[in-house]
A and B are shown apart, each in its own frame.
Chain A
Amino acid sequence: MILSTHGIVGSQIQSFVGLLDTYPNAAAAYSVRKLRAAYTGSAIRVRRSSDNTETNIGFTALGNLDESALTTFCGSGNGFVTTWYDQSGNGINKTQTTASNQYQIVTSGVVNILGTKPSILVGNKPPMNVTGVTFKSEFFVGKVDTVVVGNYVNFGSGGGLFACGTFSGTVGIGGFDLTNAPFQSELTGRTDYRLRYWNMKTNKLFVSTNGGSIIDLGTFASSLNATEIGGRSLGTAFVLNGSCQEEIFYNSDTTSTESGIKTNQNSYYAIY
């Protein structure tokens, strides 16, 4: 009997291998799937709308989000994410302590889906907070629903990265380090389901989307420290208007692993 590469093969149970097992040393990692074999924590903590109680939701044996536990807990109501747990081992969990600002994962008893996997609807809610993630690169799986002014995916005291920033009518992916604001125009597909990638090296910012080539955007900070993820708490024009399934941060140059990490993400989420 063959169930999967990390399930039961014959009479033997093969060990689970996650993205972070193959590409370790992430600064922080948030996902609707299990990313590391040794990670024993939950994926998310959810508040249900029926009575505002909270519970942790983990993974199935195959490493998927436990949707059954999620829908059982939420019943016919809605479910909101209070905590998105960091699977890197660094304990930098994302939290949102205000109910009206919490991202939604269940709507009227149905798990939100993007592509074929569960998805967390950020909407235009304020960002979730973390103690601080110092990073040089980010891999983001999600979707921008509406092009607004900012669509920041993270922000901190030194600046942040954005998915669909708008400069005098031109929309692009890029970053802002309080001095420089390089970006690459996204003429098409900017509201498609996408894998977005940012990498800071040699004091330059490099970006790409899906399997596309990496583009040098020029001068930029050597790293950033995010204290807000999912936007910038400067108003609804600066937050991510969309959904997210996975965000992985590395505090190192990921040029050599970029292709492999993207392939791993695309194999699971079937983005492009």
Chain B
Amino acid sequence: MQFINGYQYTTEQEAINARELCDAYYGIPVAPDDVTQNWVDYQFAELNTPQFWYIVFDESLLPVLGTPSEFEVITPPFPY
């Protein structure tokens, strides 16, 4: 179990929309052949019930996604 500070979404499409907002805000990608294609990416809380998608907080996301919240993400015990 990990406590994550970030942004939580109930559907993957909501997470994709949030990612696109960040890309647009920061102008990513700068050039079509750049390696960098997204400003931020989302992750899937596969082991949680119900499952959800989330973006981990970074200060650069504040002006785009607003104030983050804290939530729990279940991870398997190491090393599994």
Which residues of chain B are near A166, meaning CB under 8 Å?
78
* 7 A-B pairs closest in CB distance: A176-B79, A82-B35, A98-B41, A97-B37, A149-B78, A100-B40, A181-B79
Does B51 belong to the interface (CB within 8 Å)? no
Q: Which of B2, B34, B75, B78 contacts A165 (CB 8 A)?
A: B78
* Given A53-B30, A97-B37, A98-B41; 6 other pairs, CB 8 A cutoff: A98-B39, A165-B79, A167-B78, A236-B2, A237-B75, A238-B75
Q: Roughly how many angstroms separate A82 CA and B38 CA in the complex, as a whole number? A: 12
Nearest Cβ on chain A to B52's Cβ, whole angstroms = 14
Which residues of chain A are near B56, meaning CB under 8 Å?
100, 236
Does B73 belong to the interface (CB within 8 Å)? yes
Does A71 belong to the interface (CB within 8 Å)? no
The answer to whether B36 and A150 touch across the interface, beta carbons within 8 angstroms, is no
The answer to whether A52 and B30 touch across the interface, beta carbons within 8 angstroms, is yes
Which residues of chain B are near A52, meaning CB under 8 Å?
26-28, 30, 36
Tell me how many residues of B have a C-beta within 8 Å of chain A.
25
Q: Of all chain A residues, which has the CB nearest B45?
A: A235
Size range of the chain A interface in the assembly: 20 to 34
Q: Roughly how many angstroms separate A104 CA and B40 CA in the complex, as a whole number? A: 15
Q: Roughly how many angstroms separate A150 CA and B78 CA in the complex, as a whole number? A: 7
The answer to whether A95 and B35 touch across the interface, beta carbons within 8 angstroms, is yes
Does B67 belong to the interface (CB within 8 Å)? no
Which residues of chain B are near A238, meaning CB under 8 Å?
75, 78
The answer to whether B36 and A99 touch across the interface, beta carbons within 8 angstroms, is yes
Q: Of all chain A residues, which has the CB nearest B29?
A: A52
Does A209 belong to the interface (CB within 8 Å)? no
26-64 of chain B: CB within 8 A of chain A? 26-28, 30-31, 34-41, 43, 56, 58, 60-61
Which residues of chain B are near A253, meaning CB under 8 Å?
none
Grouping DSSP codes into helix (H, G, I), strand (E, B) and loop, the A interface class, with mixed when no group exceeds half, is mixed
Nearest Cβ on chain B to A177's Cβ, whole angstroms = 9
The answer to whether B34 and A54 touch across the interface, beta carbons within 8 angstroms, is yes
Q: Of all chain A residues, which has the CB nearest B35?
A: A82
Q: Of all chain B residues, which has the CB nearest A181?
A: B79
Which residues of chain B are near A98, meaning CB under 8 Å?
36-41
Nearest Cβ on chain B to A28's Cβ, whole angstroms = 18
102-138 of chain A: CB within 8 A of chain B? 102, 126
Q: Which of B40, B75, B80 contacts A99 (CB 8 A)?
A: B40
Most central of A82, A95, A98, A165 by chain B CB within 10 Å: A98
Q: Of all chain B residues, which has the CB nearest A235?
A: B75
Nearest Cβ on chain B to A98's Cβ, whole angstroms = 4
The answer to whether A45 and B31 touch across the interface, beta carbons within 8 angstroms, is no
Q: Roughly how many angstroms separate A102 CA and B40 CA in the complex, as a whole number? A: 10
The answer to whether B79 and A51 touch across the interface, beta carbons within 8 angstroms, is no
Q: Roughly how many angstroms separate A159 CA and B79 CA in the complex, as a whole number? A: 9
Nearest Cβ on chain B to A105's Cβ, whole angstroms = 14
Which residues of chain A are near B31, meaning CB under 8 Å?
53-54
Which residues of chain B are near A95, meaning CB under 8 Å?
35
Annotate B12-35 by CB proximity to A: 1 below 8 A, 0 otherwise: 000000000000001110110011
Nearest Cβ on chain B to A209's Cβ, whole angstroms = 19
207-243 of chain A: CB within 8 A of chain B? 234-238
